[in-house]
Structure 1
Amino acid sequence: MKEYRVLFYLLISWVIVFLINEKYVPYKTIRQCKWPNLNQNSKADATTQTNILLIADPQLIDNHTYPGRNSYLLSLSQHTVDQHLKRNYAQLTKLNPNSTIFLGDLLDNGRASTDEYFNKEVARFRSIFPQNRQMYTNLPGNHDIGFGDLIRTEVRDRFSETFGNPNLQTSIAGVEFILVDTTSLSSTKDQINQAALGFVNGLPKKSMPRILLSHVPLSRHPDTKCGPLREKPKFLALGRGYQYQNSLTKEISDFLLDKIEPDLIFSGDDHDYCDIVHDQGTREITIKSMSMAMGIYYPAVQLLSYVKSPEGLKYQTKICYMQTPYINVVVYIVMAVVSIVVILQQNLRLKTGNNSSWTVLPLSRSKREEKSKMGTGGWRKQMCLDVAKEMAFMGVVVILVYKYLIVI
């Protein structure tokens, strides 16, 4: 058994490293997220608190996300990002939110996908985020259906048939959540904007607290500060380009604020955090992307808790950070280098004559005797072959362990 010892120790080390990075770290990270306690002075009313999990821009990367990347690297990127989303979301569900609401950009290229490819990506999305009755995925983003005049109604209809009506008024524990398809509302074409426009105009008079949910943030002054929790220097309010616009026009924003009269607004699209108060006194929070592939160092979700109150909407909200991206990738690279060095070192010991009967993989007696008869050149060649075989063997075993024991 001595011949197997180092190989066994390496394999055990890999399993421990995998378990720490893929199981323990996400668990420990999400465990630090706590719902605010809004009933500290009243145990009797503790059950009235409602907890909402808000998720923005998972934007699953696909075959069109990185045009210059070869298929192997693209598959590796997809797997890495999907696993990051999946293992963190699995831990988030243990927070037991009353409802989970997505703020759009579920897919990266839903707006240009064929029906076949779209259905494949939807299945992938649902494997990462298993559906339940308390989940709202119906708010579209510009990557889902496009933006403004470039939206194709058949693409939007496909999204609606799959994920639900993009314009929705729903009551959750005494608070109205108003989800508005602001990507369509931003169009100047009647056939595109009429559904969202008619929905907003048809809303009944406000009778309870309201929270507005929009994929695109509302208009604000270009110099508006987003607060200390933002990573990037500033919010580029006037930025726009093909199939996107960083914020709604002032006219559309004022229209939504006047018609809906929200007590609170949540938006996405920007991928980074931004906490502002509009001139009308309404607070808007643009929440971070949950994805590690959206150009921010610390992906996160938003926790919202509220209770019924005669004074209106009594709430607290805070960021819940995900596992820091790429640290596990760096750890695996270091572990791979260590494994190579260990295997190489043991084979070099054979070359120098120390412990000459030992290799990582066991050798037959005839092979050992043959080694003793080899010259320096033959021994070096044999050592290279042994190292290559042992590395390949170790690599296959590690991949199988990861695929069948670690991946969720």
Structure 2
Amino acid sequence: MTSYDDYGMPVGAYSEPESLGKQALRVARAFVLYRIKPAADKKFHALTDRNWSWRGILSLVRILIAIWFVTLYWGERSAFNSAIGSCRWESWEKWGIGANPHRLVFVADPQLIDPHTYPDRPWPLNALTIKHTDLYLRRAYSRIQKVLYPDSAVFLGDFFDGGREWSTRTTTSPEERYRKYGESFWLKEYDRFGSIFFGHWQDGGTEPRPGQPGRKIISSLPGNHDLGFGKGIQVSVRKRFNAYFGEGNRIDIIGNHTLVSVDTVSLSALGQENPVEGLWKPAMDFLDNVKAQKGRLVREELRKQQGLRPNLLFLHDILDAGDLAKAELPHFGDSPAEFPTILLSHVPLYRDPGTPCGPLREHWPPTRPPKGQTEPLEKDDRNAISVSGGYQYQNVLDREITKVIAEKVGNIQYAFSGDDHDYCEVLHRAYPSAGSGIREITVKSISWAMGVRYPGFVMLSLWNPVDASGNPLRKDSNAPTLQTHLCLLPDQLGIFIRYITLVGITILSLIVRAALVATGRISTVSHNSDIPLLPVTEHGSSAENEKAALSSSPPESTHITSSSNSSSSSEPGNKLQIRSSSARTRSTSPNGSYELPVVQSKYTYPLIQHAGYYIPDKEEPRAIKTWGSSSAKKSKSRKKGLALFFHEFKKSFLTVAIVVFAWYFWLIWHG
């Protein structure tokens, strides 16, 4: 029995409305049940009900897409990973058990592509060259950090290609066509260099390896493409470079070795006609004091390794005027030992013309010695660095300048240089040095656009354990304290050639396929693909149709027969027609019975199959659209000969191209 409240309203007839959260949950549940779930079930059934076959799976288009997927992944990922992975430190270092060397990489001549590199190249091609070159440098340098994780990275000059040409606030480019590129353009190039190399320095991490003081990057040594060469350098251009990258003349203590960087492109102005003193004098002043500065930095390093204050403080005292002449500053003594010295220069040291560079030089391998001779040739012009020069460059330093550097720096064991873009290893015996001569390695360019098919970089492993006084702790004091290894990067030009070859194979394969389809040799659709779900046309003879209609007719109380005068019922493949008006009228004579009258009908199928069917206003008996058919299928079925050939080629080529380009751009976008 219904109860009522004081206001006459049924008790329980109303309740508080649901909260917004419950309403949203109800809507979401309904959306999942009535939208997402049916769509997912439909997709699942479509996949499971499909008639899978090896012929469908292993179609030419799918095979080509799979080949492209593998090829692009190899060219954009595996080639870099395998090249740099093969250079792991453990695979070539030969130190004794318990050694913990300092690991360093030399990077030479990235020489970022800019308007100076290809001044006459059209815009689209030049833009693509810049994009792919930067991408190559970014990938290579990032994987160096992730895979090799060096403790230090040292750049050997030529960061930019046209850096010397871009105007400053007070100077303009010597060449008129580059004067429109000013200070703002140089800053954009600096940011571009930083995004590639400084931005990816920490891709492998930030923490130093165990036993190492920390990670360090040195990028202050200028090249001739950054400043110019000799008297061609503008002082404002050099000041700008030093302001952003640091002083080119410097000393660094790394791994108990002394690295001495010399701005040799500026020093080369010495001895030239009418040189500006401000160009070469800073480098010469540095060389005049380099030995004293080396000793001071070695002492500081030894104190740091002992946990002491690196810089000693002088005592303060009051002296009489008579004692001032005899007073001396406290003398802490010179270091009893000196670390091995490594010279860094952008321009290689002087050597006699024809001095061979060794078997690792890519562009011109060594000339084979005469028959019966096993030693390499002492003079090999093809394998050597050319002793020559030109506008704003010189392949090697002058003999006199090289001699001055060797004498003033002293104790040079190794020298590393750039500029040549290819690898070269030479032993200089004509200059004073530590041991039997100065062994110089000219480092390959890291860029694939610098004329070498296999760019690279040099890895340096430094191991020189010393005591508190700087004396070596190793039993063999004459044993080498460093090891080097040339690491080659992928051949980007070869990768592009493989891509172009595969493009040709793809087009040729699709042309052959389209020709076979056009000639009827192969079919692209199954036999049952055009059969609709419901019967929409009449098949077979009129007798068969009538038999089928009688077998599905209603009880005897209802008689439905095929009209004998219906010409359309006897034609196979005839489309459905409109019911006649006589089929909807009653008979005027019941014939003594109240059964349904016998009507004349032209249909051979039960009338229920025609329910809801309406013919268009304008009859087109041969062009009526039916369920299960589409204009695309009909247009396709009409194509023959060349039309079918071009249709099949275009469809298959676009399918491959869209999928492949999507995969390629994804690989580029994600590094």
Structure 1 length-normalised TM: 0.89
Correspondence for 1:229: 360
What number of residue pairs does the alignment pair up? 399
Structure possessing the higher relative contact order (Cα contacts under 8 Å, 6 or more residues apart)? 1
- Residue 387 of structure 2: which of 238, 258, 269 is its match? 238
Considering fraction of residues, name the structure with more helix. Answer: 1
5 Å-filtered alignment, 1:6-405, equals 6-35=60-89, 36-40=92-96, 42-43=97-98, 46-47=99-100, 49-93=101-145, 94-113=147-166, 114-129=182-197, 130-131=200-201, 134-187=216-269, 188-205=275-292, 206=294, 207-231=338-362, 232=364, 233-261=382-410, 262-278=412-428, 279=430, 280=432, 281-309=437-465, 310=472, 311=477, 314-358=481-525, 365-374=630-639, 376=640, 379-381=641-643, 383-384=645-646, 387-388=649-650, 390-392=652-654, 394-405=656-667
* Amino acid in the other structure paired with 1:127: S
* Amino acid in the other structure paired with 1:387: F
Please state whether the residue corresponding to 2:653 is helix, strand or coil.
helix
Please state whether the residue corresponding to 1:212 is helix, strand or coil.
strand
* Amino acid in the other structure paired with 2:391: Y
Please state whether the residue corresponding to 1:263 is helix, strand or coil.
strand
CA deviation map 1:372-401 (0-9, x unaligned):
334x5xx52454255345534543442332
User: 2:357–2:385: 8 Å Cα contact kept in structure 1?
Assistant: no
**What is the CA-CA distance between 1:209 and the residue it aligns to?**
1.7
CA deviation map 1:243-275 (0-9, x unaligned):
001111112111110111122110111112222
Separation in structure 2 between the aligned mates of residue 116 and residue 304 of structure 1, nearest angstrom: 37
Separation in structure 2 between the aligned mates of residue 213 and residue 373 of structure 1, nearest angstrom: 75
**What is the CA-CA distance between 1:142 and the residue it aligns to?**
0.5
Separation in structure 2 between the aligned mates of residue 66 and residue 385 of structure 1, nearest angstrom: 41
Separation in structure 2 between the aligned mates of residue 358 and residue 215 of structure 1, nearest angstrom: 66
**What is the CA-CA distance between 1:354 and the residue it aligns to?**
4.1
CA deviation map 1:18-42 (0-9, x unaligned):
11121112211222214343432x3
Separation in structure 1 between the aligned mates of residue 79 and residue 57 of structure 2, nearest angstrom: 34
Structure 2 length-normalised TM: 0.56
User: 1:147–1:243: 8 Å Cα contact kept in structure 2?
Assistant: yes
Separation in structure 2 between the aligned mates of residue 298 and residue 390 of structure 1, nearest angstrom: 36
CA deviation map 1:217-263 (0-9, x unaligned):
11111132222222322334431000001111112111110111122
User: 1:180–1:213: 8 Å Cα contact kept in structure 2?
Assistant: yes
Please state whether the residue corresponding to 1:235 is helix, strand or coil.
coil
**What is the CA-CA distance between 1:305 and the residue it aligns to?**
1.1
Over 3 Å counting, the alpha-carbon distance change for 1:300 and 1:250 in structure 2 is same
Please state whether the residue corresponding to 2:492 is helix, strand or coil.
coil
Greater Rg over alpha carbons, structure: 2
Alignment gaps of 5+ in structure 2: 1-49, 51-55, 167-181, 203-214, 270-274, 295-337, 365-381, 466-471, 531-628
Separation in structure 1 between the aligned mates of residue 425 and residue 400 of structure 2, nearest angstrom: 21
Over 3 Å counting, the alpha-carbon distance change for 1:76 and 1:385 in structure 2 is farther
Over 3 Å counting, the alpha-carbon distance change for 1:383 and 1:220 in structure 2 is same
* Amino acid in the other structure paired with 2:398: T
Over 3 Å counting, the alpha-carbon distance change for 1:385 and 1:194 in structure 2 is farther
**What is the CA-CA distance between 1:353 and the residue it aligns to?**
2.6
Greater mean deviation of Cα atoms: 394-403 or 313-322? 394-403
Separation in structure 2 between the aligned mates of residue 398 and residue 162 of structure 1, nearest angstrom: 42
User: 2:518–2:644: 8 Å Cα contact kept in structure 1?
Assistant: no
Greater mean deviation of Cα atoms: 391-400 or 21-30? 391-400
For the aligned residue pairs, the C-alpha RMSD in angstroms reads 2.7
* Amino acid in the other structure paired with 1:369: K
Separation in structure 2 between the aligned mates of residue 24 and residue 387 of structure 1, nearest angstrom: 32
CA deviation map 1:282-301 (0-9, x unaligned):
21111222222222233221
Over 3 Å counting, the alpha-carbon distance change for 1:321 and 1:158 in structure 2 is same
Over 3 Å counting, the alpha-carbon distance change for 1:399 and 1:248 in structure 2 is same
Please state whether the residue corresponding to 2:142 is helix, strand or coil.
helix
* Amino acid in the other structure paired with 2:93: N
CA deviation map 1:298-326 (0-9, x unaligned):
32211111211523761111211111232
User: 2:255–2:462: 8 Å Cα contact kept in structure 1?
Assistant: no
Name the % identity.
36
Over 3 Å counting, the alpha-carbon distance change for 1:401 and 1:59 in structure 2 is same
* Amino acid in the other structure paired with 2:144: L
User: 1:308–1:314: 8 Å Cα contact kept in structure 2?
Assistant: yes
Over 3 Å counting, the alpha-carbon distance change for 1:382 and 1:119 in structure 2 is farther
Alignment gaps of 5+ in structure 1: none
User: 1:303–1:318: 8 Å Cα contact kept in structure 2?
Assistant: yes
User: 1:219–1:237: 8 Å Cα contact kept in structure 2?
Assistant: no
**What is the CA-CA distance between 1:204 and the residue it aligns to?**
3.6
